[in-house]
Amino acid sequence: MGNLKRFSSLALTLSLAASLAACGGGNNNNNGANSGTSNDKANTTGNTSGNTSSNAASDNKIDTSEFETISYVMLGDKPKNGQLEKVMEKVNAIMKEKINAELEFKWVEWADWQTKYNLLLASGEPIDLITIGTDWLDTWGNAQRGAFLPLNDLLEKYAPLTYAEISQEDWDQSKFKDDIVLIPENHYTQWVNHGIYYRGDWAKEFGITEPIKDFDTLGKYFQGVKDNKPNVVPFDVAGAPGTFYTGFATSYTDMIELPISTGYALAFFGKSYDERYTVDSPIFNDQFVDFAKKMKEWGDKGYWREDALNYKGDTRGALKAGQSGADAHHTGTFKTLRVDMDKAQPGSELQMFAYSDTRGNLISMPITHGGTSVGAHSKHPERALMAYELIRQDEEVYKLINYGLEGVQYEIKDGRRVRPAGYDDARDSFYTDFWGGRMDKFEIPTDTEWSGMGDIYKKYDEIKKPFPYGKFVFDKTSVDPEMTAISQVIGELMPSILAGKAGDPTEAVNALRDKLKAAGYDKVKDEIQKQLDAYKTLIEG
């Protein structure tokens, strides 16, 4: 992701020590607490007892005499086994020593996460740090609504190492208009292209001897499960199999995703990589009706539950228990799920049909797929950035946040993270869902990731095309009501089409198209096209 710049561990350690020297470890020199700007209190110093100096100090001094609690909003279900609290005791001891603050995670849980996330940002709640993603969390839309604090005048002082290691080009991709509104996760290598996981052992049993690369062969696999594995759901899903919409666009069209959120599913794509400045939509593609017919056929055949739209069960747990024949997510999940399945279902040989396998339609990830913003109503943004700097740049804090406690959650053997003897997943598992600033330099290889991922990454690297919309920010001011209406239509009608529960597929697709048109689809499309034309001029001259 981005141009990976590596600093030596020693240099980083020394730089971090220098940048935090004003904090004095125990000498809690401070920032502008509760100010909302970088100017208040910037000229005072303090000590561990909280007594402040009456003399003006250098502008480089940061006043941390007032203890502050920094909130950080994560996407995911809050851990419930008590391990998070134990890890955070260690993290917050360091936070208190170095910046006189504590970190408190808040969670937007996966049930109806899209709505909850946007409502939280719209509520005016004084959020300090929050996970963002321009291609899945409507970051630009929320920026347009004023949800994030501009960081231009804060970063260099309160997160100097992070500010220095991110290139100007990457900062430019982190701006809404002229303001930096996010810190990108641009020093972490990952792929999150989506697809279907299936059991290789069962595929061979059903006569499928080559890796699955298309929907027709996937259908044969599902039918094989249906015919040969009693009490197993071919593809157990909680809700509609929404992954297939992405799969259709990637596998059967040349379209590439635009970073323009329309809720449940993206309505607007680039026509192709070669015609990336032309707006298109899978929904209005001629093949979309055939796709809807396939979804109804698969639903009628029982490839997923009859009540999938209302089902709330643990479908990944069903896969591990041998009660589901497939699962869906992206490459990042597959690399650990393969190892889990090797243990839970020995010999299962879990495989991944990535939708890019069909025709090589694969775009590199944007550097802003993950990242962190400061909420517009944060009461102490300066200390929030200092806390973020510690997570991203202090190796000890980084490992605690990402891995947990050494000796409890992991041990290091031969340079790899392994589970300690006696590790129990229910009792000892730990996560923070920190996707806001991971760093390759601190990552430790783990035995929980499948050793075959190198070959998969190599395959992707051979076909990938660079992400073309890094500096494109859609301004929806003139079409905001239409965008809202389009999102509502898609959320209302798309799930039943994907689950094959919308009645006649042709009529259902036509109804979706008609309602999108009535909601203002053409007006929005024209506005996107106008802005893409301007963007093309910006990029290509």
Chain segment 281-323, per-residue pLDDT in tens: 999 999 999 999 999 999 999 999 999 999 999 999 999 999 9
Q: What is the pLDDT confidence band of residue 46, given thresholds at 50, 70 and 90?
A: very low
Using an 8 Å Cβ cutoff, are 159 and 371 in contact? no
- Looking at the structure of the chain, the number of domains it has is 2
How confident is the model at residue 42, as a pLDDT?
30
Q: Which domain holds residue 313?
A: 194-363+469-540
Is residue 7's pLDDT more than 80? no
- C-alpha 87/C-alpha 400 separation (Å) is 7
Nearest to 61 by CA among 43, 37, 48, 41: 43
Does 58 have pLDDT greater than 70?
A: no
Higher pLDDT pick, 254 / 27? 254
pLDDT for position 344:
97
Q: Which residues pair with residue 69 across a beta bridge?
A: 102
pLDDT digits (tens, 9 = 90+) for 482-513: 999 999 999 999 999 999 999 999 999 999 99
pLDDT of residue 39: 31
Is the same domain home to 267 and 231? yes
* 293 shares a domain with 352: yes
Whether residue 168 is found in the same domain as residue 300: no
User: Do residues 359 and 371 both lie within one domain?
Assistant: no
Q: Amino acid letter at 455? A: D
Own/partner pairs, 178-182, CB within 8 angstroms, 24+ separation: 178/152, 179/150, 179/151, 179/152, 180/150, 180/151, 180/152, 180/155, 181/139, 181/143, 181/148, 181/149, 181/150, 181/151, 181/373, 182/132, 182/134, 182/139, 182/148, 182/151, 182/368, 182/371, 182/372, 182/373
Angstrom distances, CA of residue 232 to CA of 90, 95, 147, 223, 517: 44, 49, 45, 11, 41
- Percent above pLDDT 90 for the chain: 83
Distance CA 374, CA 235 (A): 39
In angstroms, rounded to a whole number, what is the distance separating the alpha carbons of residues 330 and 31?
41
Q: Say yes or no to pLDDT of 44 above 80.
A: no
Whole-number Cα distances in Å, 432 to 189, 404, 429: 19, 9, 11
Q: Does 353 fall in a domain? A: yes
| pLDDT of 148 strictly over 80 | yes
Tell me how far the alpha carbon of residue 334 is from its chain's centroid. 15
What pLDDT, in 10s, does the model give residues 355-410? 999 999 999 989 999 999 999 999 999 999 999 999 999 999 999 999 999 999 99
Question: What does the mean pLDDT of the chain come to?
Answer: 89
Q: Are residues 397 and 324 in the same domain?
A: no
Residue 23 belongs to a domain: no
Collapse the DSSP code of 61 into the 3-class scheme (helix H, G, I; strand E, B; otherwise coil) and give the result.
coil
Asked whether residue 382 falls in the same domain as residue 315, the answer is no
More confident residue, 50 or 261: 261
Average pLDDT on 509-532 reads 98
For residue 288, what pLDDT is reported? 98
CATH number of the structural domain spanning residue 202: 3.40.190.10
Q: Is residue 322 domain-shared with residue 432, that is, in the same domain?
A: no
Nearest to 172 by CA among 440, 539, 537: 539
pLDDT of residue 111: 87
Q: How far apart are CA 522 and CA 424, in angstroms?
A: 55
Other C-beta atoms within 10 Å of 303: how many? Answer: 26
